[in-house]
Amino acid sequence: MRSIVLDLETTGLFVKDGHRITEVGIVELWNNKPTGKTLHYHINPERDVPPEITELTSLTEKFLSDKPKFNQVAQEIRDFIGNDTIVITCRQHDDYTLDIAFLNAELDESAVDRPIPPKQWLNVRPWSEKMFGHEGAKLDNVLDHYGVDRNERINQGHSALLDVLLLAKVYPQLLADYQKFQYYQNPPSGKKGPSL
């Protein structure tokens, strides 16, 4: 069973403020295990990159200036995703989820065939929030919980490709733990099971 893990870096939080994608990282999974197949692009956002974003991601306007524009790689990204589940870990602001909003906006702007339907997205951030609390749901804390080395992330900063590679490592265990968590919260007998 194929799925993909996806992460984006952007110039800011909200599409409505004119922010754009600066990096796309995608890892292919088969039966929830990485296959080694990835797709990665740095993207020219065709706008300035705020200093706080450069500090977070190390991506500068100059570095991105000769990278492809999103519409030049949009179809390849869409084709790589296909019709399979897209696993993300992303904070939600009411009904707004950053990765979903940005990718859909960029694909729409690029007039790519086959828009991504809502049912194709799987945001695992709410799983982490339910199991570990709001602070515990941050990717760094989830990685620490599962004993995954994140020194490269500490040294390098935010990177879409690095983040999906790390999330892909913890996803199988996160999925298993969330299934157990749901079972104990809602056991078949209707009686509350033991806490984890």
pLDDT value for 95: 81
Confidence band for 40, pLDDT divided at 50, 70 and 90: very high
Tally of domains within the chain: 1
The pTM assigned to this predicted structure is 0.91
Confidence band for 187, pLDDT divided at 50, 70 and 90: confident
Q: Please give the full DSSP string across 5-40, using - where no structure is assigned.
A: EEEEEESSS-GGGT--EEEEEEEEEETTEEEEEEEE
Inside any domain, residue 196:
no
Domain that holds residue 52: 2-185
Inside any domain, residue 26:
yes
Inside any domain, residue 195:
no
158 as an active site residue: the answer is yes
Express each pLDDT in 134-185 by its tens digit. Answer: 899 999 999 999 999 999 888 887 899 999 999 999 999 999 999 999 887 7
Residue 108 pLDDT greater than 60, yes or no: yes
Inside any domain, residue 192:
no
- The answer to whether the beta carbons of residues 77 and 24 sit under 8 Å apart is yes
pLDDT value for 191: 54
Inside any domain, residue 190:
no
Inside any domain, residue 52:
yes
Inside any domain, residue 193:
no
As given in the structure block, the two tokens for residue 112 are 């790519």
pLDDT value for 184: 77
pLDDT value for 190: 55
Catalytic residue among 19, 40, 93, 158: 158
Angle made by CA atoms 52, 54, 56, in degrees to the nearest 5: 70
Express each pLDDT in 48-85 by its tens digit. Answer: 999 999 999 999 999 999 999 999 999 999 999 999 99
Can you give the CATH number for the domain in which 50 is found? 3.30.420.10
Inside any domain, residue 118:
yes
| Closest to 19 measured CA to CA, from 53, 42, 65 | 53
Express each pLDDT in 124-138 by its tens digit. Answer: 999 999 999 989 999
pLDDT value for 196: 45
Report, as an integer, the average pLDDT of 100-121.
93
Phi, psi of 170 (to 5 degrees): -90, -15
